[in-house]
Amino acid sequence: MRNCVNLRASFAFIGAMKRTEEDLRLINAFFLRLEQHDKLRAEERGALLDVIGPVERLPGGASLVRTGERPGASTLLLSGMASRFRLLSDGGRQIVAIHVAGDFVDLHSFLLKEMDHDVATLAPSAIARVRHEALEELTRNYPHATRLLWLLTLIDAAIMREWAVSLGRRTALERMAHFFCEIHLRLLAVGLDGNDTFELPISQVTLSDILGLSVVHTNKQLQDLRARELIVWNGSTVRLLDRERLMKLADFDDLYLHRRREPR
């Protein structure tokens, strides 16, 4: 690979970095996510790995970056959960994305430069930063890996579109069912689902800000889903009791997640 030396040179700290087994396991979530969509060549894996900063652990509710800031790095979420949201002048809040392990949470700040929303963890999480200079170098030397990173932002956008469809045209109940279907499939992709059961470490307040509903109504619709024996959600674990019926209720079609593995 041309310029491989340059790449290393601009991130001397990384070259020196020893990763623990545990850190490598965490970072693997990201590769799992990428390889869900296309094959990576060994040198691409290497180049990407080189670019990932040290693993950091954060508590839930930690702010990663705020509106108006110009971060010098983007954040990879390796475990836990994070949200991106806009605060409104009337005190309201709309969550515009939920991220799970393996997601490149704010990759878009690499090119947008200035943040137009906030990012925060929703639960204790492990993250790693990737400096924007390193990403730029990557775009010069690894066009295919670049396209895959671009793809990740395109899939985020596709999810965003689906949320807009939910917010604009689905009832509260359908919307909620749709969200559970989506998060289930996204966790499945990175191996965090077992038997239609997964961890969802968020409160009903957070869910309201995802669905664009009041907390009261969120609670009532949730009871409805429970009464229909579609889901169980005590504390932090969700169990989908009848995925078929849930998907039907939500009018769910997984096309927008673009899960197919193919050359990109």
Given the rule CB under 8 A, which residues bind a copy of itself?
67-68, 84, 86, 88-90, 92-94, 96-97, 108, 111-114, 116-117, 136, 139-140, 143, 146-147, 150-151, 153-158, 160-165, 167-170, 211-212, 251, 255-256, 258, 260, 262, 264
Binding part of the chain for DNA, among 40-48, 73-81, 135-143, 213-221 by CB under 7 A, reads 213-221
214 contact, one of DNA, a copy of itself, none, CB 5-8 Å limit per kind: DNA
| Binding track, positions 144-173, relative to DNA; x by CB under 7 A | ---------------------------xxx
Tell the smallest beta-carbon distance from residue 174 to a copy of itself (Å).
10
DSSP at 239: E
Tell the smallest beta-carbon distance from residue 135 to a copy of itself (Å).
9
Specify the residue, 111 or 232, whose C-beta has the smaller distance to a copy of itself: 111
Place of tokens 């806009």: 86
By CB under 7 A, is residue 212 in contact with DNA? yes
**231 in Cβ contact with 183 (< 8 Å):** no
Q: Which residue, among 134, 148, 120, 147, has the nearest Cα to 61 in the 3D structure?
A: 120
Tell the smallest beta-carbon distance from residue 153 to a copy of itself (Å).
6
82 contact, one of a copy of itself, DNA, none, CB 5-8 Å limit per kind: none
**58 in Cβ contact with 124 (< 8 Å):** yes
**96 in Cβ contact with 85 (< 8 Å):** yes
Q: What are the φ/ψ torsions at residue 18 (nearest 5 degrees)?
A: -100, 130
By CB under 7 A, is residue 232 in contact with DNA? no
By CB under 7 A, is residue 204 in contact with DNA? yes
**51 in Cβ contact with 134 (< 8 Å):** yes
The pair of structure tokens assigned to 127 is 């993250």
Contacts of 3 (CB under 8 A, 6+ apart): 137, 140, 141
Name the region of 258 (left: φ>0; alpha: ψ -120 to 50; beta: rest). Answer: left
By CB under 7 A, is residue 237 in contact with DNA? no
157 contact, one of DNA, a copy of itself, none, CB 5-8 Å limit per kind: a copy of itself
Specify the residue, 167 or 185, whose C-beta has the smaller distance to a copy of itself: 167
**153 in Cβ contact with 107 (< 8 Å):** yes
Site residue total, DNA (CB under 7 A): 18
Distances (CA, A) of 99 to 56, 81, 88, 127, 201: 17, 6, 21, 12, 12
Specify the residue, 28 or 219, whose C-beta has the smaller distance to DNA: 219
Q: Which helix (H) or strand (E) holds 83?
A: strand 81-87
Give me the half-sphere count of Cα atoms (radius 13 Å) on the Cβ side of residue 106. Answer: 33
Name the residues that contact DNA, by CB under 7 A: 171-173, 203-205, 212-223
